[in-house]
Amino acid sequence: MKSVVTPPGRENNRGVPRSTRRNIVDGLRIEGVRWSGVLDDLDFLERIFDLSALPSHDNRFPNAAGDVWQHRINNDDWEDDWVYSDPRLDLVGCPTPTFLQFLCEMVHPVVRPDTEEAMKLVGHFNDQLRQEGWELCEAARMAGRPCFVARRYRPGQDRAIARAQATARSLSAGWMKEEVERIEGAIEKDPALAIGTAKDLIESCCKSVLLERGIEAGRKANLPQLAKRTAGELKLVPEGIPDTAKGADNIRRVLQNLAALVHHLAELRGLYGSGHGRDGKYRGLQPRHARLAVGAAVAFVDFVTETHAERTTTEPAS
Phi first, then psi, for residue 247 (nearest 5°) are 70, 25
- b/e 257-293 (16+ beta carbons within 10 angstroms → b): ebbebbeebbebbeebbbeeeeeeeeeebebebbbbb
166 Cβ contact list (under 8 Å, min separation 6): none
Q: Is the pTM of this model over 0.75?
A: no
Kind and range of the H or E run holding 147: strand 145-152
Q: How many Å apart are CA 174 and CA 16, to the nearest integer?
A: 36
Q: Write down the pLDDT at residue 8.
A: 41
pLDDT for 260 equals 72
Please report the pLDDT score of residue 304 as a whole number.
Answer: 85
- Which residues lie below 8 Å from residue 314, measured CB to CB, with a gap of 6+? none
Residue 7 pLDDT: 43
- Residuewise pLDDT in 10s, the chain (318 residues): 445 554 444 334 579 999 999 999 999 999 999 999 999 999 999 999 999 999 999 999 999 999 999 999 999 999 999 999 999 999 999 999 999 999 999 999 999 999 999 999 999 999 999 999 999 988 778 998 889 999 888 665 566 666 666 766 766 666 676 777 777 777 777 787 888 888 888 888 888 889 888 888 777 788 778 888 888 888 765 555 565 556 666 666 766 676 676 667 667 666 665 554 544 454 557 778 888 888 888 888 888 888 888 887 766 654
From 175, 134, 181, select the one nearest 162 (Cα to Cα): 181
Query: Distance (Å, rounded) from C-alpha 103 to C-alpha 97?
Result: 10
Residue ranges covered by each domain of the chain: 18-153, 156-314
What was the pLDDT predicted at 266? 64
Look at the chain and count its residues.
318
Question: What's the pLDDT at 173?
Answer: 62
